Structure 1
């Protein structure tokens, strides 16, 4: 019985020792312990239109202060960076040339582990992946963010030519789209019209331009609409063109010229009589 009591008396000491060893092993770097913090960003891509501002937020878990940390946003590689904020101050000399003068560090919430970089005047070249990294001097963690850029182009311009044989040739042009836009032609009954579309991209702005053409018999449509949209936006740009009815076109192309010719002859004959 005495031996049994002796074993029971030493069990709490052994348990306490085991707990202490576990705590120490978790506190020593390199022993498989978890990181002191993690960094998270938005789950969904951030959407911004060309010319607008875009915020790229990141936050710590747990929500410890990031005031004394180095915070860095970058693209493919950490240096040069999109924006660097080190111990309360921006470091513009470490920025990419593309982002110099175009970013602002939003410090509200830094004491609670939240920070964001605002990119001004978004362009197509900002589209893609970003990373934000938090470094406290002993360890660092980072998250990946996605910025999706959309360009809403100009109002479509429709130019129409009606041949003598009654064939309608129309072209719809517009510029300033991103990414590659979608073009549709429809008549006023909502039926799609077959067309041929050519697109081109500007090497300086990365924006797309559209030139879409269609050819239809004039009797087939009373008018047409050209619709252009971006796959990232719900809004679209639409232009419409009304065609005169065939009777009006016949009058304008035959009767009206004859009437004008007759009027000229009458005027000429009257002038001769007065002489």
Structure 2
């Protein structure tokens, strides 16, 4: 009878020892620039040697779901989803210190999602990855409306996730603008365009600001209108390739 109890006692002690450790991930989403390398943090707390444990990184929305698998001291490349081949790894020298973070190379927009860091008999933790892409806005059109007001159009290409566009006057006050036009390209990046009508009661300086709150990214460009009461009916300029352009009634400054 005693011989039957001893193995159970040993197994329970080992299992309880493992359960004292906790798999810990970040409390906030991880934001990564498209094309760059990123680390999804995950570690054992308190620190313990994970080099002989099984470490699994998965994305539940994929099939197969495995992003990276470490077992018996080696990586199981055959388990990995094809889109992550050659792009995921762990810090093998740091496993003995309980660092089971995942390095993801050349981040893609399609990498967006929730990742699960898991060690059997110990626990798991999840981390949300948000890829981001940004681009500076530029003024694509300056014209005078039939009512005599000046109309400015701002555009920015190559954003992810979808950003917002705001217009501000020289004092930093928000201006009422028309609805933002948004186009998502075949590369999944967004192009946004916005128009605003300015009047003599406004200051002569205006800012087009494009921002993405999830990735905490903001880009803006400044335009100085030197003559709101100019008699010209219509003025146009494509300013994509100019740092500074001077027209009869307008002076444009790219940020």
Specify if TM > 0.5: yes
Please report the TM-score for the alignment, with normalisation by the length of structure 1.
0.69
Q: Tell whether the 8 Å contact from 2:31 to 2:215 is kept in structure 1 after alignment.
A: no
Q: Does 1:108 find its partner at 2:93?
A: yes
Deviations 1:60-94 (A, max 9, x none): 34533222222110111683411122222222222
Could you tell me which runs of 5 or more consecutive residues in structure 1 were left unpaired when the two chains were aligned. 1-20, 254-275
Which residue is equivalent to 2:144?
A: 162
Deviations 1:89-109 (A, max 9, x none): 222222112212222221132
Q: Tell whether the 8 Å contact from 1:219 to 1:246 is kept in structure 2 after alignment.
A: no
Q: Tell whether the 8 Å contact from 1:162 to 1:218 is kept in structure 2 after alignment.
A: no
Which residue is equivalent to 1:96?
A: 81
Shift in CA distance, 101/213, structure 1 to aligned 2, threshold 3 Å: same
Q: Does 1:73 find its partner at 2:57?
A: yes
**Mean Cα displacement is larger for which, 147-156 or 64-73?**
147-156
Which of 199, 203, 207 is the aligned partner of 2:182? 199
Shift in CA distance, 217/81, structure 1 to aligned 2, threshold 3 Å: same
Could you tell me which runs of 5 or more consecutive residues in structure 2 were left unpaired when the two chains were aligned. 234-255
1:1-275 equivalence runs, <5 A: 27=10, 34=16, 36-37=18-19, 38-76=22-60, 79-135=64-120, 139=121, 141-163=123-145, 165-196=147-178, 197-202=180-185, 204-217=186-199, 220-246=202-228, 249-250=230-231
Structure number with bigger Rg: 1
* SS of 1:85 mapped into structure 2: strand
* SS of 2:96 mapped into structure 1: helix
In structure 2, distance between residues paired with 1:43 and 1:219: 47
Deviations 1:22-73 (A, max 9, x none): x9876555xxx74723322223322322222211232234533222222110
Give, in angstroms, the shift of residue 156 of structure 1.
3.1
In structure 1, distance between residues paired with 2:189 and 2:124: 31
Kindly report the root-mean-square deviation, in angstroms, between the aligned alpha carbons of the 2 structures: 3.0
Give, in angstroms, the shift of residue 130 of structure 1.
0.6
In structure 1, distance between residues paired with 2:167 and 2:215: 19
Whichever structure has more helix as a proportion of its residues is 1
Higher relative contact order (CA 8 A, sep 6+): 2
In structure 2, distance between residues paired with 1:234 and 1:243: 29
* SS of 1:160 mapped into structure 2: strand
